[in-house]
Amino acid sequence: MNWRKELVNSYTRIEDLLSVLELDINQIDQLISTKTYFPFRVTQAYASRIKPRDPNDPLLLQVLPTSGELLSPQNFSDDPVGEEPFKKDSSLLQKYHGRALLVATGACAINCRYCFRRAFPYQHMVKAKALENAIEQISRDLSIKEVILSGGDPLILDDQELETIFESLQRIKHVERLRIHSRLPIVLPSRVTKRFTRLMRDTSLNTSLVVHVNHPNELDNLTIESLRRCKDNGLILLNQSVLLKNINNDIKTLTELSEVLFSAGVLPYYMHLLDRVKGASHFEVSDTEALNLETQLRTRLSGYLMPTFVREIAKKGSKIPLAQI
């Protein structure tokens, strides 16, 4: 099926997802309504990997809104990594030297309840004029060598829209690299079209695709095929994960995650400590536990399979390795 049609057929009502999973709404602890904020959204492809009749399935827990979202500890905010000051009439966020983030869309195929941009004010950043302004800003700033297409999820844009962005960036002589951060190859594998892989292959920019997988069960045959299609077209594939309580904070899951990623042609890149966004505190793993997991994981994995455990801290010039926090 065409990926756009698949996207339209996503679950947007919790009851519908629970029904296909043969779960009774009363089996889910403290479910809450999301009518007024950060809506519920799950693709059918992702839902097909959730184990039926298991209310604690680690994929299900990533998408179910529960009362934990109503907690508001003091150190959790709507803007945990300090992106607000970058708001202008432009889609550009510049946090680190030499790189710039182009926020191409606010939409996603799946709404992950721990998302650090769950309250991000995308409205003015994703207009055509804002994108134009961003390209203009990049062309004037000779220090920018790498552009990161982000969102939301940039692969929500269709291939024609991506091609237009690629062409604009290619014309800027000092931009050498293009990186795309996307969860779509995982949650909607059909999005990896031939045209997309060709676009990535044929651009004169050096490209990489950073996907987002938190648990080995997220990789089924269709996903692995979509990643292979990328690899066969010469794309560099990396993965970033978020360390999440009750989802992947155990050594067996983390070991298996790195191993299955590598089998699918993807190198583990970052293991992010949770960004402290309001509504996600119930997913937090303490720094002490994370450090302990990192230490143990290092004894299980070859060095190239070991993701770097990091935290993003507002106003810092880079992500900070956990051991230095």
Residues that bind ligand SF4 (CB under 6 A): 108, 110-112, 115, 117, 151-153, 183, 212
For the bound state, the minimum distance from the C-beta of residue 62 to ligand SF4, rounded and expressed in Å, comes to: 8
Nearer of residues 175 and 240 to ligand SF4, judged by Cβ: 240
Inter-axis angle of helices 221-232 and 194-202, nearest 10: 30
For the bound state, the minimum distance from the C-beta of residue 76 to ligand SF4, rounded and expressed in Å, comes to: 16
For the bound state, the minimum distance from the C-beta of residue 260 to ligand SF4, rounded and expressed in Å, comes to: 19
Q: Return d(Cα 211, Cα 185) in angstroms, integer.
A: 7
For the bound state, the minimum distance from the C-beta of residue 244 to ligand SF4, rounded and expressed in Å, comes to: 11
| DSSP 8-state code for residue 242 | E
For the bound state, the minimum distance from the C-beta of residue 300 to ligand SF4, rounded and expressed in Å, comes to: 26
Nearer of residues 31 and 107 to ligand SF4, judged by Cβ: 107
Nearer of residues 27 and 76 to ligand SF4, judged by Cβ: 76
| DSSP 8-state code for residue 275 | P
CA distances from 180 to 108, 119, 138, 140, 292 (A): 14, 21, 16, 22, 31
Nearer of residues 152 and 175 to ligand SF4, judged by Cβ: 152
For the bound state, the minimum distance from the C-beta of residue 118 to ligand SF4, rounded and expressed in Å, comes to: 7
Length of the chain: 325
For the bound state, the minimum distance from the C-beta of residue 207 to ligand SF4, rounded and expressed in Å, comes to: 19
CB-CB contact of 134 with 91 (8 Å): yes
Nearer of residues 156 and 175 to ligand SF4, judged by Cβ: 156
CA distances from 293 to 103, 185, 259 (A): 32, 27, 16
* Residue 311 buriedness (CB in 10 A; 0-12 / 13-18 / 19+): buried
Nearer of residues 209 and 301 to ligand SF4, judged by Cβ: 209
Q: What is the CA radius of gyration of the chain?
A: 19
* Torsion sign across C-alpha atoms 196, 198, 200, 204: negative
Q: Return d(Cα 255, Cα 298) in angstroms, integer.
A: 9
Nearer of residues 50 and 301 to ligand SF4, judged by Cβ: 50
